[in-house]
Amino acid sequence: MNEALLRELVPAVIGVLVRRGADFASAEDAVQEALIQAVRTWPDDPPRDPKGWLVAVAWRKFLDAARAESSRRGRELAVEVEPPPGPAPTSDDTLQLYFLCAHPSLTPSSAVALTLRAVGGLTTKQIAQAYLVPEATMAQRISRAKRTVSGARLDQPGDVATVLRVLYLVFNEGYSGDVNLAAEAIRLTRQLAAAIDHPEVAGLLALMLLHHARQATRTAPDGSLIPLADQDRTRWDTTLITEGVDILQSALSRDRLGEFQAQAAIAALHADAPTAPHTDWPQIVEWYDELTRLTNNPVIHLNRAVAIGEADGPHAGLAALAALDDSIPRYTAVSAHLHERAGDLTTAAHLYTEAARKAPNLPERTHLTRQAARLNTRPPP
C-alpha cells in the first residue's frame, strides 16, 4: 500500500472535484472517504490508474452525499449527469489549493491544519496527534476552516508569502505523534517549488533542508536540548546540506532577496563551519542586517544581538540587546548567555533561572534550568 502516493494525489483529486462543481468542503470530505476505501481495497486490488480511481470514487461519494442532502431538504439534485468515465484530467490544481488553504481570513493554526489535511493528505487523527490536541478539537478546527473558504474559487490569485509562512509553521512543529511534520513540510515545499518558479519558495526549501540536516544532533538520548555549538557536526546530513546550499545559490543568483533566502544563507554559514569556533560570525551579522531591512520581526533582532555578541564580543551583544524590547520571547535566555560570555556569572545564573520559568516547552525549560544549576554549583574563585 503506497501511502505516499495517496497523499501526493490528494490535492489534484480535490481540484478535479471542485472543477466539476463541488464546493471545497464537500470535495475534501469526499476525497477523504475515497482514501479510506483505497486503504481497504488497494492492497488486494491495486488500480492501473490510481488518480483516475480516486477521482471516480470520490465523485461517487460526493454525489451520494449531495443526493442524500437533496432528499433531506426536498430539493432536486443540482448535478444530474455524472461525467463520462475515462482518464483523469491532467491539470493539477495543487498550487491553487495551497493558496486556498492559506486564505488570509484563516488563523495561522487553522491554515496549517487545513493545509495538512487537503494538500498533505493527513487524517484528522494524525494532525491532532501531531499538535497534541484531541481529535474532536482538530476536527472542529478543520471544519470551521473549510466553511470559511468554501466560497473561494480555485482560480483566484493567492499570496505566496502567506503560503510560505504556513509551511514554515508546519516545519517548526518538528516531530510529534506518528507524523514527522518537519519532513512533511519539506515534502510539501518541494511540491510547491515544482509548481511555482519563485526564489523565496526555493529559499524556504533550502532553509528547511539546512535545518533538517542537523535534526539527529539537536537532542540527547534523554530528550534534553543540545545547543548548536555543542552538536556533533560529523553526524550532520551532508547530502541535505549540499542540496540546500545548491538550491540557495541558485535562488540568490536571481537577485530577488527575501527573508527565507537570507535565513537560509545564515544556516548555510553555520553548516559550512567545521567547528563552532570557525563560524563566520561577521558575515552572519551582515546577513542579519539584511534580514532586519526585510522584516521587522523582533526575533530576528534578538538573533542579531547574539551574532553581534559572537562577532564583536559579549559587551557589544549586550549593547545591541539593550535596544530591544525585553518582552520578546527568549530575551532573558539570550541575556543570560551574553552575561555568561561577559564573565558576569552571578547575573547569568539568575537570568537562566528566570528564563527557565518563561520557557515555552519542557525541553527548553530543562536546558535552562541545567544552565542555571551549572553556574550556581561552580567552585568558588
HEC per residue, the chain: CCHHHHHHHHHHHHHHHHHHCCCHHHHHHHHHHHHHHHHHHCCCCCCCCHHHHHHHHHHHHHHHHHHHHHHHHCCCCCCCCCCCCCCCCCCCCHHHHHHHHCCCCCCHHHHHHHHHHHCCCCCHHHHHHHCCCCHHHHHHHHHHHHHHHCCCCCCCCCCHHHHHHHHHHHHHCCEECCEEHHHHHHHHHHHHHHHCCCHHHHHHHHHHHHHHCCHHHCECCCCCECCHHHCCHHHCCHHHHHHHHHHHHHHHCCCCCCHHHHHHHHHHHHHHCCCHHHCCHHHHHHHHHHHHHHCCCHHHHHHHHHHHHHHHCHHHHHHHHHCCCCCCCCHHHHHHHHHHHCCCHHHHHHHHHHHHHHCCCHHHHHHHHHHHHHHHCCCCC
User: Which one, of 129, 238, 231, 240, lies nearest residue 190 by Cα?
Assistant: 240
**Stretch 271-299: mean pLDDT, rounded?**
95
Report the range of poorest mean pLDDT among 192-196, 245-249, 310-314. 192-196
pLDDT digits (tens, 9 = 90+) for 206-231: 999 999 999 999 988 888 899 999 99
**Contact criterion met (CB below 8 Å) for 22 and 62:** yes
Surface-to-core class of residue 266, CB atoms within 10 Å of its CB (0-12 exposed, 13-18 middle, 19+ buried) = buried
For residue 289, is pLDDT > 80? yes
Predicted pLDDT at 12 = 87
- Give the C-alpha separation, 230 to 207, whole Å: 21
> Cβ–Cβ contacts within 10 Å for residue 164, how many?
23
- Give the C-alpha separation, 159 to 295, whole Å: 17
Instruction: Quickly tell me which residue has 483566484 as its cell.
Output: 156
User: What does the block give as the cell for 253?
Assistant: 543568483
Amino acid identity for residue 369 in this structure: T
Predicted pLDDT at 176 = 52
At what angle are helices 199-212 and 259-272 packed, to 10 degrees? Answer: 30
Predicted pLDDT at 155 = 62
Task: Say if strands 179-180 and 175-176 run parallel, antiparallel, or are unpaired.
Answer: antiparallel
pLDDT digits (tens, 9 = 90+) for 84-120: 555 544 445 677 888 888 888 888 888 888 888 888 8
For residue 177, is pLDDT > 70? no
For residue 75, is pLDDT > 50? no
Comparing 203 with 70, the larger pLDDT belongs to 203
Segments making up each domain of the chain, as ranges: 3-73
Predicted pLDDT at 265 = 98
Q: How confident is the model at residue 357 (pLDDT cuts 50, 70, 90)?
A: very high
Report the range of poorest mean pLDDT among 83-92, 291-300, 368-377. 83-92
- Give the C-alpha separation, 28 to 126, whole Å: 16
**Contact criterion met (CB below 8 Å) for 219 and 227:** no
Average of per-residue pLDDT values in the chain: 87
Predicted pLDDT at 129 = 80
- Give the C-alpha separation, 149 to 28, whole Å: 12
- Give the C-alpha separation, 110 to 126, whole Å: 15
- Give the C-alpha separation, 282 to 276, whole Å: 14
